[in-house]
A and B are shown apart, each in its own frame.
Chain A
Amino acid sequence: MKNLKSRLISRLAFGLLAITLAIAWGTATHAKARRHIVVASTTSTQNSGLFDFILPRFERKTGIQVRVIAKGTGMAIDIARRGDADVLLVHHRPSEEAFVAAGYGVRRFDLMYNDFIIVGPTADPAAIHGVASAADAFRAIARHRALFLSRGDESGTHSREREIWRDTGIDPSGASGTWYREAGAGMGATLNIAAETDAYTLSDRGTWISFANKRGLKLLFAGDPKLFNQYGVILVNPARFPHVNARDGQTFIDWLLSPQGQATIAAYRVNGVQLFHPNATAGPKP
């Protein structure tokens, strides 16, 4: 016959186990049950804090919970292409149009824009402050062999950086590992490294303004039209992925494009600075 006390202990342990599993189960099913859409977007948009500002307003109005998966542009598009998201919100027009053309998305809408900037060490060894164009800035950096940190992760920012290098006629990949370094990381992580190593890097203004670890980095160049960064929003095609929450996804897109949504986007400021400029053209709903 088992000792009564040891029986009590094993009962207690069992009870704890059961409670834990019950909590976990409850959390899991509760998470699934709530009315929601999944939005695949980018880390730069997430890190800017835009979603934390605009989404509660949408959720209050419609009762639809918006779950944002923030990855690099490439990964976000991949997620949408697998049907694991309901809405795609990224900032690389060629990829977005290809996405729709291939039948994965219903239609692409312009949503808002911000711009890219070049940040670098306060001392500005390559003297890019005040040059005429982004391409000139990159040329100066290359000529000087100053430390330049690339996102290196197929993101929208990375694609733009590559386009500017193409404009300069210089291919920096041969120098990878020396003055040109590829992080393979999100915008925040890349800025961390740049701040730590006093490197130049291309960043989106939104992430930069809200970035808390600037250290010796400064905004050194901006304003070139080539640095214009357009965001697009696309509903994942329910014809291709029947499980997609097309109704609520379309509600979200309609709200974003509506005067109210656009005004909400414009109202988002960090340190008094407006980060995103809404530019949706009033297009007919599909």
Chain B
Amino acid sequence: MEAPVPTSRTWAPMAADRGILPLALDRVCFIANNKLLIDHVSLELGPGVITMLLGPNGAGKSLFLRLCHGLVPPASGAIRWLGPEATQAARHQAMVFQRPVMLRRSVRANLDFALRARNYGRARRRRAVEEMLERADLAALAERSARVLSGGEQQRLALARAWIMRPQVLFLDEPTANLDPAATRRVEDIVGAIHDSGAKIVMTTHDLGQARRLGQDVIFLHQGRVIERAPADRFFEAPQTPQASAYIEGRIP
């Protein structure tokens, strides 16, 4: 691990009587092209643990994340934030996509953009951007155009851009799918740091090693249904369902 990521007192974990979590899904369905892609999913996501969403291709993992984050509406069923600040839920979430979306601007401007969307004042923005550039080890790249960065650097920027908004919940859709091991490591370090600063992490991955490294709570999806849910170590050591076993052993892609 390179230089340790500094923490500060302003990034303390969220107290239980504040915030937007938990998130409750109640018989949520999603249909596209006459196919039931999410099939009556009911579960609850609570604060604290890093939740890993696993499953074979076409299981509906990305779709599930987008439903939770509010990017797409469910066809039926309810998705509700239950915490005291639930009415402001949209402001306290962030998402990082598999392919990072880089604005055609500098690294610094990308970070600045996220804060402008939150109507931060100029001085406050400048401070937050400087701090985040240090935190995410992007200071040397600050004036470069974001589009010319490497894949790993872009994903770090995407994470920094999400982190700078101090989300309570961070959704990640296969963030290291296209990265080499070194870049993957750095991304995982940042994810860990974001978690340490108090954010709930919900992420999907195909990398079982990554799932073991980072995951604390595992949800296994197959053909749009939640087949199994367990704490990470129990899921990997003793999967309860045949589909989960098959997946862990690599028998379903």
Contacts and interface: CB of A to CB of B under 8 A. Distances in A.
Q: Are A and B in direct contact (Cβ within 8 Å)?
A: yes
Interface of A: 1-3
9 contacts: A1-B108, A1-B112, A1-B122, A1-B126, A1-B129, A2-B109, A3-B106, A3-B109, A3-B143
Interface residues of B, number: 8
A3 B109 CA distance: 9
B115 to A, nearest CB: 12
Contacts, number: 9
Most chain A CB neighbours (cut-off 10 Å) among B109, B129, B143:
B109
A7 to B, nearest CB: 12
Nearest to B112: A1
Interface string B90-128: 000000000000000010110010000000001000100
Given A1-B108, A1-B112, A1-B129, 6 more contacts: A1-B122, A1-B126, A2-B109, A3-B106, A3-B109, A3-B143
Contacts of B106: 3
Nearest to A2: B109
Contacts of A1: 108, 112, 122, 126, 129
A6 to B, nearest CB: 9
A3 B108 CA distance: 9
Interface in B127-186: 129, 143
Contacts of A2: 109
Nearest to B143: A3
Contacts of A3: 106, 109, 143
A58 B62 CA distance: 82
Nearest to B125: A1
A3 B106 CA distance: 8
A252 B139 CA distance: 77
B102 to A, nearest CB: 16
